[in-house]
Amino acid sequence: MTETIHSFLLIAIIAAVTASIRFMPFVVFRKDAPRVIIYLGKVLPHAIMGMLLVYCLKGISIFTGAHGIPEFISIAFVVAVHKWRHNTLLSLIGGTAIYMLLVQLVF
């Protein structure tokens, strides 16, 4: 029983911290945000996407295992197909299928 309570407290605290982080900018800048923050708000989305890409790929080790080759091939595929057709679903499904084939069958 105490274990269940502890589990629920853990879930509650994780939920509370997550929500606090999400609400923080809106609470701190609830009046008019300074111009520098508005500027950051405009340019950050573009920078964040790069950061998230690196975040997704951080687990790759270049020197061991598959050397990141499946990731490289699949991303190159996604870029090429997306440049060609501009169809998001096609790029995603194609890229993921190729990645799954590569990691399951080739490497």
Shortest Å, Cβ 67 to other proteins: 16
Q: Enumerate binding residues for other proteins (CB under 8 A).
A: 3, 6-15, 17-19, 21-26, 29, 33, 36-59, 70-71, 74-75, 78-79, 82-83, 88-89, 91-93, 95-96, 99-100, 102-104
Task: Write the CA distances from 86 to 82, 96, 100, integer angstroms.
Answer: 5, 16, 22
DSSP 32: P
8 vs 65 by CB, closer to other proteins: 8
Scanning the structure block, which residue is given the tokens 């790929």?
Answer: 57
**How open is the CA angle 81-87-93, to the nearest 5 degrees?**
70
Shortest Å, Cβ 77 to other proteins: 9
65 vs 96 by CB, closer to other proteins: 96
Task: Write the CA distances from 89 to 3, 65, 96, 100, 106, integer angstroms.
Answer: 44, 30, 11, 16, 24
12 vs 65 by CB, closer to other proteins: 12
